[in-house]
């Protein structure tokens, strides 16, 4: 079997401008959503209490909400979780209540709702200080990944490649976040881990294309910069799609079978992998071109000398 029967190099760079415009538009949209809607942070970051309860039969959500509100939980959010028999109850940090006791009070209150016997499945309580720390730690982790990858790329390539790769992949991160902002999906620590993992994973894609670019510059003399890039992308595209496809199969399996807990984690990975292919190949490469990469940067004088002898 061979999926990729490509006769000639695909002229990706002809459409370089189109790709960059598409990215710019999605990027700006993502920023817009992030700015206007903001991320829907999980309790881990905001602090607060989350109670997951299961029922034998589907409970009346409205009634549960009413009971909780009447019992003094003013800002309570009640929603179904996964299926109609499970409820997720979210409470912001309570100033006047002894916050560590909130979950018991919620359970007590739930037991008074007629007709349904709730079963406690999960409680998460995060105090304000811990929430803040988790948020700072998360930001630090993101920063360290970006800096670490930049240093690595700077060692590995010259600056044009490093800059393009990191721009392309940060734009991925922003787009994933944009999705989470637009749909108001819950942004948890696990999602953050997924974002960072996918960042490390897809930067590699740019590295592979750039390696080929460098190799092609050295090997094939008569080609212009856009042709070299086209050749590099075309010759790596089958690998790119197959590996990402395989990883995505695993991620899809998590999305389908992993249940609610892994859902957003897998979702972030999915978006990250799809945009990762696009951006590390079709965003990073044009950027390198705009930044003015050329053959002269790769051919060392010594190599020239040897060739002259031959």
Partner 1 sequence: MNRYPIWVYVTVAVALLLGVIYTLPNFYGELPAVQVSSAKATIKVDSKLMERVEAALKAGNLSAGGVTLDATSVRARLATTDEQLKARDTIERALNPDPADPTYVVALNLLPATPAWLQSMHAKPMYLGLDLRGGVHFLLQVDMKGALTKRLDSMSADLRSLLRDKGVRHGGVAREGNSVLVKFRDAETRDKGRNAITDSTADLQLSERQDGADFTLVGTLSPQSQNRIQEFAVKQNITTLHNRINELGVAEPVIQQQGSDRIVVQLPGVQDTAKAKDILGRTATLEIRMVDDTAGALEGALQGQVPFGTELYTERGGQPLLVKKQVVLTGDRLTDAQPGFASDTNEPAVHLTLDSAGSRIFKDVTRDNVNKRMAILLIEKGKGEVVTAPVIRTEIAGGRVQISGRMTTTEAYDIALLLRAGSLAAPMEIVEERTIGPSLGAENIEKGFKSTLWGFAAIAAFMVAYYLIFGLVSVLALASNLMLLIALLSLLQATLTLPGIAAIALALGMAIDSNVLINERVREELRNGASPQAAISAGYERAWATIVDSNITTLIAGLALLIFGSGAVRGFAVVHCLGILTSMFSAVVISRALVNLLYGRQRKLDKISIGQVWKPQGNQG
CB of 113 to partner 1, least distance (A): 19
For residue 28, what are the CA distances in angstroms to 94, 202, 267?
A: 36, 21, 21
Q: Smaller CB distance to partner 1: residue 33 or 278?
A: 278
Q: Smaller CB distance to partner 1: residue 6 or 28?
A: 6
**Host H or E run for residue 125:** strand 119-126
Q: Looking at residue 296, what DSSP letter applies?
A: G
Contact 209, 153 (CB under 8 A): no
Q: For partner 1, which residue of 18, 140, 220, 294 counts as binding (CB under 8 A)?
A: 140
C-alpha 10/C-alpha 84 separation (Å) is 50
Site for partner 1 in 55-94 (CB under 8 A): none
C-alpha 160/C-alpha 296 separation (Å) is 14
Where do the H-state alpha helices sit in the chain? 16-36, 43-46, 61-70, 102-111, 128-156, 159-182, 189-219, 225-257, 259-278, 284-290, 301-309
Q: For partner 1, which residue of 2, 57, 296, 306 counts as binding (CB under 8 A)?
A: 2
Burial class (CB in 10 A: 0-12, 13-18, 19+), 47: buried
> Considering the rule CB under 8 A, would residue 103 count as an interface residue with partner 1?
yes
> Considering the rule CB under 8 A, would residue 101 count as an interface residue with partner 1?
yes
Picking from 263, 70, 86, the residue whose alpha carbon sits closest to that of residue 78 is 86
Q: For partner 1, which residue of 66, 71, 124, 158 counts as binding (CB under 8 A)?
A: 124
Q: Smaller CB distance to partner 1: residue 31 or 135?
A: 135
* Contact mark string toward partner 1, 8..47, x via CB under 8 A: x-----------------------------------x---
Q: Smaller CB distance to partner 1: residue 64 or 166?
A: 166
Q: Smaller CB distance to partner 1: residue 20 or 46?
A: 46
CB of 95 to partner 1, least distance (A): 15
Work out the angle at residue 255's Cα, subtended by the Cα atoms of residues 252 and 258, and round it to the nearest 5 degrees.
125
CB of 28 to partner 1, least distance (A): 26
> Considering the rule CB under 8 A, would residue 216 count as an interface residue with partner 1?
no
Site for partner 1 in 165-204 (CB under 8 A): 188-190, 192-193, 196-197, 199-201, 203-204
Count of positions on this chain that bind partner 1 (CB under 8 A): 76
CB of 80 to partner 1, least distance (A): 16
> Considering the rule CB under 8 A, would residue 257 count as an interface residue with partner 1?
yes
C-alpha 65/C-alpha 89 separation (Å) is 9
Q: Smaller CB distance to partner 1: residue 32 or 100?
A: 100
Two tokens, residue 299: 């051919």
> Considering the rule CB under 8 A, would residue 1 count as an interface residue with partner 1?
yes
Site for partner 1 in 270-289 (CB under 8 A): none
Contact 99, 128 (CB under 8 A): no
């Amino acid at each position: 079997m061979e999926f990729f029967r490509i006769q000639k190099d695909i002229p990706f760079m002809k459409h370089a401008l189109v790709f960059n415009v598409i990215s710019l538009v999605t990027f700006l949209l993502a920023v817009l959503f992030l700015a206007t809607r903001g991320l829907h942070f999980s309790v881990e970051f905001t602090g607060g209490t989350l109670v997951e309860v299961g029922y034998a039969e589907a409970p009346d959500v409205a009634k549960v909400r009413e009971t909780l509100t009447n019992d003094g939980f003013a800002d309570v959010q009640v929603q179904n979780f996964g299926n109609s028999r499970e409820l997720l109850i979210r409470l912001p940090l309570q100033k006047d209540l002894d916050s560590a006791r909130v979950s018991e009070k919620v359970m007590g209150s739930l037991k008074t709702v007629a007709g349904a016997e709730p079963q406690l499945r999960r409680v998460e309580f995060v105090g304000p200080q811990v929430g803040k720390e988790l948020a700072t730690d998360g930001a630090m982790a993101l920063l360290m990944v970006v800096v670490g990858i930049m240093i690595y790329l700077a060692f590995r390539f010259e600056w044009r490649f490093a800059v393009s790769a990191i721009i392309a992949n940060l734009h991925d991160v922003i787009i994933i976040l944009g999705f989470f902002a637009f749909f108001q999906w819950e942004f948890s620590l696990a999602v953050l881990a997924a974002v960072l993992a996918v960042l490390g994973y897809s930067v590699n894609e740019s590295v592979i294309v750039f390696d080929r670019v460098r190799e092609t510059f050295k090997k094939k003399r008569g080609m212009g910069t856009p042709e070299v890039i086209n050749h590099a992308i075309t010759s790596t595209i089958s690998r790119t799609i197959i590996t990402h496809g395989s990883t995505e199969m695993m991620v899809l399996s998590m999305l389908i079978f992993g249940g609610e807990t892994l859902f957003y984690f897998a979702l972030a990975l999915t978006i990250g992998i799809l945009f990762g292919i696009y951006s590390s190949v079709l965003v990073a490469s044009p950027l390198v071109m705009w930044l003015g990469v050329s053959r002269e940067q790769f051919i060392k004088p010594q190599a020239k000398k040897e060739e002259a002898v031959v």
